[in-house]
Structure 1
Amino acid sequence: MSVVTLVSGGLDSTLIAYLAKEEGVHQHPLFVNYGQRSLERELAACQRAMQKLCLDNLKIAELSGYGGLIRSGLTDPAQRVLEDAFTPGRNLLFLLVASAYAFQVDAEAVSIGLLHEETSIFPDQTSAFLQDAERIIARILGREIKVLSPLAAFHKDEVIALARSKGIEGTYSCHLGGEIPCGACIACNEFRVEEI
């Protein structure tokens, strides 16, 4: 099997890449620059993780204009990173770009790091969204591309424990992009423990 793995440098997507590597899945890692405030640190963490996994085919989708147009706490320093975190269409954008890339490299699937539906706070983090996205992707590409969410049965504490057991470290998840995680954004609040 061949898959486009959406990787951000964060814990969830890094774990997905590790799991796929362990299973012998051929990966095409894809990082999306959507104009996020944390771009520099996310990308650096992502590049380190892919290097550690010997995945030297990381591609970067340069879509920074999205964050200039669709403003949220994740893309605009003038907004509040916690209260204004919803970035409309972000996960659909990720899946659309990943699927188009999968079409070009003849991959059968794309993989995204969404967790258990009980933890979802936005409409584009649900299983219904993923099913709808898979249908629309098949319609627009003319062939099926599976949308995988390998961590859909996991809560954050389980992801942290699994990542630690595999020796994963050096990830970056803070939406503000500072050297020290802010401790206030949604990504930081998910941990409630030190960043690993």
Structure 2
Amino acid sequence: MVNLVSGGLDSTLVGVLAHEEGLHTHPLFIDYGQHSAEMEWETCQQVHAHLELSTPVKMDLSGFGRVIHSGLTSDELNVKEDAFTPGRNLLFLLVGSAYAYQVGASNISIGLLAERFSLFPDQRNEFIEKAESAIEVALSRRIRVLTPLAEFSKADVLKLAQDKGITGTYSCHVGGSEPCGNCIACLEFDFEKGG
């Protein structure tokens, strides 16, 4: 299984759950030109080593963010109000599936939470189903898109991650050494913690 990873809590939890199930994973980190790429990649490597998960591979697609602007890729846009990055999750699924094809895996996983918490169209079940179909046509091979956290809220993720001893992840969209406290990821995390 190719596990799309970011160094954040959701994708790390997916990796831990897969490891516990005895699944062989190929963690794939995608630098799509996001502000936080450097911190995410550094954290991703550290967390995977600490938890004795498979070593992640980095794919550099940073040119995407230089052309496709959002609050996650451009200093000229607001990190919270302009967070939607058009095509990002489709890009993730496409390159994740291409990597799965290359390494002989039949599944990829993405850490999307329950649809009722979705903010953007590319976080919903309809998108996943249609992307999976398009990828099968494009590759002439079925690569299943797994969303193991599809029934989870962020509070559920936080509790299970705590139970599994997962620490040291990074989820801020700004990319500083300390969480900004203002982006969607930080606000979601603080809200669910009761902060």
Same fold? TM cut 0.5: yes
Q: 1:146 to 1:129 in 2, by over 3 A?
A: same
Q: In structure 1, which of residues 49, 52, 72 is the aligned counterpart of residue 50 of structure 2?
A: 52
- The equivalent residue for 1:110 is 108
**Matched AA of 1:94:** F
Three-state SS of the structure 1 residue aligned to 2:165 is: coil
Q: CA deviation at 1:53?
A: 3.3
Q: In structure 2, which of residues 117, 121, 124 is the aligned counterpart of residue 126 of structure 1?
A: 124
Q: Is the 8 A contact 1:21 1:53 kept in 2?
A: no
- The equivalent residue for 1:177 is 175
- 1:77 and 2:75 are equivalent in the alignment: yes
**Matched AA of 1:46:** C
Number of equivalent positions? 193
- The equivalent residue for 2:16 is 18
Q: CA–CA distance in 1 between the matches of 2:155 and 2:56?
A: 28
Q: CA deviation at 1:55?
A: 3.5
Q: CA–CA distance in 2 between the matches of 1:182 and 1:120?
A: 22
Q: Is the 8 A contact 2:26 2:54 kept in 1?
A: no
Q: 1:171 to 1:193 in 2, by over 3 A?
A: farther
Three-state SS of the structure 2 residue aligned to 1:138 is: helix
Stretch moving more, 115-124 or 185-194: 185-194
Q: Is the 8 A contact 2:16 2:53 kept in 1?
A: no
Q: How does 1:156-175 map to 2 (within 5 A)?
A: 156-175=154-173
Give % identity.
58
Regions of 4+ moved over 4 Å: none
Three-state SS of the structure 2 residue aligned to 1:147 is: strand
Q: In structure 2, which of residues 28, 32, 35 is the aligned counterpart of residue 34 of structure 1?
A: 32
Q: CA deviation at 1:189?
A: 1.1
Q: Is the 8 A contact 2:154 2:192 kept in 1?
A: no
The CA RMSD measured in Å over matched residues stands at: 1.3
Q: CA deviation at 1:193?
A: 5.7
Q: CA deviation at 1:49?
A: 1.6
Q: CA–CA distance in 2 between the matches of 1:78 and 1:47?
A: 29
Q: Is the 8 A contact 1:42 1:172 kept in 2?
A: yes
Gaps of at least 5 residues in structure 1 are none
Three-state SS of the structure 2 residue aligned to 1:192 is: helix
Q: CA deviation at 1:40?
A: 1.2
